[in-house]
Amino acid sequence: MTSTTQIQALDVPTAILQRRSIKTFKPDPISPEMLKQLVELTVAAPSSFNTQSWRIVLIQDETQKAALCEASWNQKQIIQAPVTFVFAADATAGEQDLTPILEQGLNTGAWNEGTVNYFRNAIPQFQEALGDKRREYAIKDAMIAATNLVLAAESLGLSTCFMNGWIEDKVKAVIGAENNPDIGIAVVVPVGYAAEPRLNPGRLPLSANVFVDKIDNPYQD
């Protein structure tokens, strides 16, 4: 079993460069203290107007893991990993009671009364203006939070795998959201200790897909 006391956290650049998508995991559990730290670092992510529209479900029960595995084309990393984070997103987050978010921003000193009063009206107006794109914006927020998770996990000696291979209706049923049309699934991320390393497959030259000002002006390093 891996001890959390032996781990010295990596710096952010090292975690970014070192992280790989791991497909096989050891059965070693993640300590409750480390799991809580992962959750806290995950939800430290920014979101539109700080609405925090993600709905993150930690899958740990063996029956739940088996159901999620089946909903994800039987990819075994979900069974192997001690916990899998399901990142769901609520398209209606900006239409719900914003009082807790607004009051917290005021109490922390991050927002003043003017900002709070502006947000009180601006957030619902923005949400309404989004129309059919409400889900898209909520999914974006959830993906930002998921990125926090994988980098935090890497820095603490854990491994992860962004999974985009799953059937949304089945995943929603696993987390109990099958009757909520406003909930969308952003990504599924198993977390645990890698059973085997994976090499860096490399990246294209920067000029292949990075540009300056316009897409026909390649970035030159």
pLDDT in tens, 123-153: 999 999 999 999 999 999 999 999 999 999 9
Give me the mean pLDDT over the 213-221 stretch. 96
Where does the pLDDT of residue 8 fall: very low under 50, low under 70, confident under 90, or very high at 90 and above?
Answer: confident
Where does the pLDDT of residue 5 fall: very low under 50, low under 70, confident under 90, or very high at 90 and above?
Answer: very low
Q: Is the pLDDT of residue 58 over 60?
A: yes
Using CA atoms, how far apart are residues 84 and 15, in angstroms rounded to an integer?
Answer: 20
Predicted model pTM: 0.94
Tokens at 145, concatenated: 């939070």
Whole-number pLDDT of residue 3: 39
HSE-CB for 112 with a 13 A CA cutoff: 1
